[in-house]
Structures are given as structure tokens and as C-alpha cells.
Structure 1
Amino acid sequence: MYITISAQKTNAGFPKSSGSFVKYLEKENEGLQPDEMEYFFDQSQDRIQPEQVIQEIDHNTAKLKQKEPKFYSITLNPSERELKAIKDAPQALREFTREAMKDYAKAFHREIDGRPVKVDDIKYYAKIERHRSFKGHDLQIRENQSFATKILALKNEIRNIEQGRQTGNIKALNKQIIKLEQKAPHQLRGQRIVRGMEKPGFQSHIHIVVSRKDRSNRYSLSPGSKHRASEVELHGKSIKRGFDRNQFFNNAEKSFDRLFNYQRNFAEAYQSRKLLLKEPKSYFLSLQKLPIKEQKLAFSLLQKAGINAPKLHIPKNNLELTLKAIHQLKRGVKRAIEAGSIGI
């Protein structure tokens, strides 16, 4: 499970309307019949039109300054293993989203009318997306890149010959291109994997548009707050403030496990990724201490995420840990996280 929270931003700053973002999230519905579409949903409704989402978010911005974000984007990215566990069922994804948003509300160190923030205070709209495409940071694209570079050079050579800028044998160059296409290490349905090609398998993830203001349009609820679980004196009153991202990420993960009786492996856990980034040696030691079955699954998950974990030098009989192995694993996990559809 990988979760992100970000304020939608453009070159000009924060957009005044959620319209462009909401329309972007409608891209998978293009050309579909109404009964085939994925609709926006919230805590109680399953079929919300995009026009309603835009109106509700855009009109819930009282007293926000021009330089403040009007809404945030949250993405819930279950791994392929997690999606298999729930059979990629839309209803299960909606159920998980609603539980995760309860965890989101609880992560605010704020009070509304003297009580903690509840999910009913949050104005949000979520949408399931089913597809992902390969991007430049994916393992398959990176390992195919040398072939892509050679193919591009040959195509440029052919273009120059056709336009009379140089001489050469176009037929022979085309044969070289065919051979390179076939030799590229990562193929899909008989074709070299390239950027923009749709990824196979379960790729479902959830986009959430959440208002900066609470449902009453009176309180600002910023998940981007740099203050965590603190209090400040304002107009003679003690005001709670802040948002705990670690709490949100941890609890959302636990909600998934509880809802679907999911047995989470060490390599899949948010706390493990955090441990890797902060204390890589402890991460290695924890991998070593796993039962054999769990250790094999952990290495399998790391490898699927694009990390050559089985090739790493991880001593079995002593505590010697090489910096090379640590850096390789950290770099691989970061790339896997950036890819979005990570296996961990």
C-alpha cells in the first residue's frame, strides 16, 4: 500500500477551481456507456456526477487566501498482492476508501465545536481508476532504454536517407531495428515495453479530492500542515492544530488488513519502508530475522517492485552489512515508490 497526499498546484500557483483535476479523473470514462463508468463516491453515496464534485469543492473555500490550496489530492495505491486479496472488487475498494477517510479525519489534531474531527466533517469525493501506463522511472522502461536509444538513432538515420541528407541501406537498417525490438529484455504481448503502454494485471487505485475546509465551510483542515499534534494560543484561547501523516498512513494500512483479513508481509509495511530510509542497517537485520517463508515472500515482493533483492549481499551468519547493498536497496525502493503501482 502506498498513499500520497498533495496540494494540486500549477505553474501559476494553486488553482481556484477543481474543474481541471476532476475532468482529468474522468479520462477513463471517455467513450463508455453510463452503466460501464466509474462514478465519484463519498462516505454515503456511490454515484456522484463530476459536475457536483466541482461545485461542492469550489464553493467550500470560505476565507481561504489566494496563495492557499483550496483542495488536496489523496491517492490510495494498493499493491498487486493486496488487489488480488480483494479480487480487485470495486465495492471492496470503496469500503476501504471509506475506512481510510475515517483514519484521515482522526489524524487531525484539531477540534470542531469542542470535539475531535470526524469523517462527517470531511468534504471529499473519491474515484476508482483501473489502469496505469508505464513511465520513465519504471524498471521495464529503464532496462529497455539502451535498446530504445539505438532504435531511435537508426530511425533518425533512415529519415536522413529518405530526405537525401545521407546515403545508406534502409532495408538493412530496418532489419537492425527489428532485431533490437526483439532483443529488448522487457516485452508485453510480443512488443517492446515503451512509455505510455498500459500495464498488465490489477492496477486499480483510488483518487480522492478533499476540500481544505470542513463540510461546514468554517474550519480549515490542512493535511499539509507542518505542525503535528501541537497547541497554540490564539485570541486568548488554546487551539489544537496539526495533522499526523504517519498516523494516517499506519492506520489506513491497518484498516485494510482488518477489513479483509490481510496478512501483511514485512516488506509491504509502511513502518518497514520508513525504517529503511532512516535506519537501513536495522532494516537488513529485520529481513534476516524473518521466518524463511516470510523472508522468501519479502524478497519476492522487493524483486517485483524492481529491486534485485536476491542479488544483494546479505550475510546469513554475521552482522556485516555492506554499504553497497544498503544503497542499492534504498535506491530501488525509492524508484518503486515513485512508480506508483509498486508491489510493496
Structure 2
Amino acid sequence: MYITITAQKLGANYSQSVADYVDYLEKENQLPDIESDHEFFFNQKEDDISPEVVIKEIDANTTKLKKIEPKFYSITVNPSQYELKKLQNSTEALKQYTRELMKNYASCFNREINGRPVDVSDIKYFAKIEHQRAFKGTDIQVKENQVYATKILQLKNEIQKINRGIIEGSVRKIEGEIKSLETNAPHQQNGKRITQGMLKEGNQSHIHIIVSRKDVSNSFSLSPGSKYKASEVEMNGKMVKRGFNRDDFFQKAEKTFDKNFQYQRNFVETYQARKDFIKNPKLYFSAIMGLPASEKALAIKMLRETGMPMIPVVPFSKAQLTVKLIKSIQKGIHAALRSGSIGI
């Protein structure tokens, strides 16, 4: 599970309307060959919410917010392939999980509204499930294929010049070189070189959640971007609680999924494992080596499937955990975390 919370920006400025982001989330519904049904927005109690309603509700819920402050946040929830396999009805199960997740989200605010803790009923949000995902220019597969893509483009330009009589050469020979480059590119999908914009194969279901900065009454600011986990500050002569505990939210998100779907999480998928990796990579790899044989085998399989470099494989003894090896694998794990394959 990989979850991100971001304030939406347009360049250096915060978006003053959610319209552009809603349009972006509608892109899958506009695909002519989409296999899944049309997906509508939903919230804690309602389904089949139109994009027009989302825009109207979020844009109107910004009282007293300045232009330099975020008006809304985007939460993106990316289950791994292993987690998605556990869901029998992907759309309905993900909706169920989203609604439980937003209860977790509300509980992680160190705020009070009218003398009580923040509840999910205070959160104004709209969520949408998408079932397809395209390769981006930042994906490791696209980046490592770029050398081949550049050379192929150069050769195609040469063919155009030959056809226009600008230069001399053999079109057939160049086409053979292009075919060889297409075949030898390191990252392939269904026999084709992976390129930016190509749809990823397999179940790519994920969740986008738009959350208003203000509560449903448009009176209280609830910022998950707060730099404070929990503190109090004096405002207008009164002590006011503030803060959002992201660490607690990520842990609850994982536990909620496991409980709702009886998911047996491997060590490398856990939030604690990611924390160990960031703070102490050697401890992380040592923990993998200490797993029971079957769990260790699955952990290594999961890591290999992320595309991270195994040189030659994840080490099988603590003695093999050299600084050089850790650094070489560390880069790959960061890419895996960003791709949504492992971690939160």
C-alpha cells in the first residue's frame, strides 16, 4: 500500500478551484475502449456523485482561506498487486475501504470541534476509483528505455530524410536497426517496448480522494499538511489544539485493510518495514534474513517484482550486508515505494 497526501498546486501557486483536478480524474471515463463501467465520485454516505457537484461543493467550502493557503488536499491510495488480489469485488471493496480509511483520517487530527474530537462526519471529501494507470516519464521502466527511444527517433528521422531525398541510405537497413532496438529495450510489456503513456497491464485499481481544507460546516480548518502532530496554541485568548499525525494515519490505514479483508501482510509490505528501511537499511535487510523460510522467499519475490536491482540477489546472510550492496539496493527500493508496489 502506498498512500500520499498532497496539497494541489498549479506551478508555485495553490489551486483556487478543484475543477482542473476533477477534470483530470474524469480522464478514464473518457477512454473509448475502457473495459470497466463508468466510475462516479462517492463520499461517506452517497454514491454516483457527478463531477459538477464535486466542484461546486469543494470550491464553495473555502471561507476565510487565503490565496496562499491550500483549498483542498489530494489523498492517493495505491494498493499493491497482492492486496488487489485479495479483493473479490474490486470497486465495492475499495469503496468500503475508502470509507473506513476516512474514519482513520478524521481520528488523526488533534483538533476539537465544539468541544469534541473530529469525526468522519466533519470531513468534506469526494473519492473516485480508477482501474487503469499509464506509465509516466518518471517511471524507472520509461527512464531506462529512454536511450533506446532516443536512438529510434533519430533513425526514424533519418528515414524521413532519405524519403525526401535529403540524404542517401538504406531504409530497409535502418528499419532493421529500429526493430532490433525495439526488441532489445530492457523493459517490455506484451512484447512491446514500454513507453510513456502506455497503459500498465494487470489490475491497476487505485483511489483518489479530494478532501476540503475546511470541515463540512465551513468553519474549522483541518489541514493534514500541518507540521505538528499534536500541540496547543493560544488563539483569541483560548488554547486551541492543532496538528495531524500522519504516522498514525499510515499505520491505521494498513491495519484497517488487513482487518477488513483478512490480509496476511508480509514484512516488506508493512509500514514498520518502510520506517526501518528509511532509518536503518541494515536493520531492514537483517530483518528480511531473519524471517521464516516461506516468508523470506515471499519477501524476496515481492522485492524482485518491483523491478528493484538484486545484485545478485537479496543477501542471504548478515555477513553479506555490505555498505556498497545496501546502497545499490536502496535506490531500487525508493523507486518501488514511489511506484506503489510496496510500503505506505
> What TM-score range do you get, normalising by the shorter chain?
over 0.9
Match of 1:200, SS state, is coil
Cα displacement (A) at 1:182:
2.2
Q: Deviations over 1:239-273 (max 9, x none)?
A: 11011111111101110000000000111112211
For residues 185 and 149 of structure 1, the distance between their equivalents in structure 2, rounded to whole angstroms, comes to: 14
Match of 1:263, SS state, is coil
Q: What's 1:18 paired with? A: 18
Q: Is the 8 A contact 2:148 2:185 kept in 1?
A: yes
Q: Is the 8 A contact 2:308 2:332 kept in 1?
A: yes
Q: What's 1:262 paired with? A: 263
- The residue identity in structure 1 corresponding to 2:26 is E
For residues 7 and 115 of structure 1, the distance between their equivalents in structure 2, rounded to whole angstroms, comes to: 26
Cα displacement (A) at 1:7:
0.5
Q: Is the 8 A contact 1:299 1:310 kept in 2?
A: no
After superposition, residues 1-344 of structure 1 pair within 5 angstroms as 1-11=1-11, 13-30=13-30, 36-87=37-88, 89-309=90-310, 311-312=312-313, 314-316=315-317, 318-319=318-319, 321-339=321-339, 341-344=340-343
Cα displacement (A) at 1:88:
5.3
For residues 184 and 208 of structure 1, the distance between their equivalents in structure 2, rounded to whole angstroms, comes to: 36
Moved over 6 A (4+): none
Q: Deviations over 1:268-303 (max 9, x none)?
A: 112211211111111111111111111111111111
Give the stretch that moved more between structures: 103-112 or 12-21: 12-21
- The residue identity in structure 2 corresponding to 1:140 is Q
For residues 245 and 253 of structure 1, the distance between their equivalents in structure 2, rounded to whole angstroms, comes to: 13
For residues 31 and 342 of structure 1, the distance between their equivalents in structure 2, rounded to whole angstroms, comes to: 25
Call closer, same or farther: CA 1:143–1:67 in 2, change over 3 Å: closer
Q: Is the 8 A contact 1:2 1:337 kept in 2?
A: yes
Cα displacement (A) at 1:178:
1.4
Gaps of at least 5 residues in structure 1 are none
For residues 156 and 245 of structure 1, the distance between their equivalents in structure 2, rounded to whole angstroms, comes to: 50
Give the stretch that moved more between structures: 90-99 or 148-157: 148-157
Match of 2:209, SS state, is strand
Cα displacement (A) at 1:64:
0.5
Give the stretch that moved more between structures: 132-141 or 51-60: 132-141
Gaps of at least 5 residues in structure 2 are none
For residues 337 and 287 of structure 2, the distance between their equivalents in structure 1, rounded to whole angstroms, comes to: 20
Match of 2:54, SS state, is helix
For residues 262 and 321 of structure 2, the distance between their equivalents in structure 1, rounded to whole angstroms, comes to: 35
Call closer, same or farther: CA 1:60–1:313 in 2, change over 3 Å: closer
For residues 88 and 196 of structure 1, the distance between their equivalents in structure 2, rounded to whole angstroms, comes to: 27
For residues 264 and 12 of structure 2, the distance between their equivalents in structure 1, rounded to whole angstroms, comes to: 45
Call closer, same or farther: CA 1:284–1:174 in 2, change over 3 Å: same
For residues 189 and 55 of structure 1, the distance between their equivalents in structure 2, rounded to whole angstroms, comes to: 42
Q: Deviations over 1:188-233 (max 9, x none)?
A: 3332221111101010000000000001111000000111111112
For residues 76 and 88 of structure 2, the distance between their equivalents in structure 1, rounded to whole angstroms, comes to: 20
For residues 142 and 242 of structure 1, the distance between their equivalents in structure 2, rounded to whole angstroms, comes to: 38
Percent of aligned pairs sharing the same letter: 52
Match of 1:46, SS state, is coil
Q: Is the 8 A contact 2:2 2:338 kept in 1?
A: no
Q: Is the 8 A contact 2:268 2:342 kept in 1?
A: no
What is the alpha-carbon root mean square deviation over aligned residues?
1.9
Q: Is the 8 A contact 2:266 2:298 kept in 1?
A: yes
For residues 172 and 320 of structure 2, the distance between their equivalents in structure 1, rounded to whole angstroms, comes to: 56
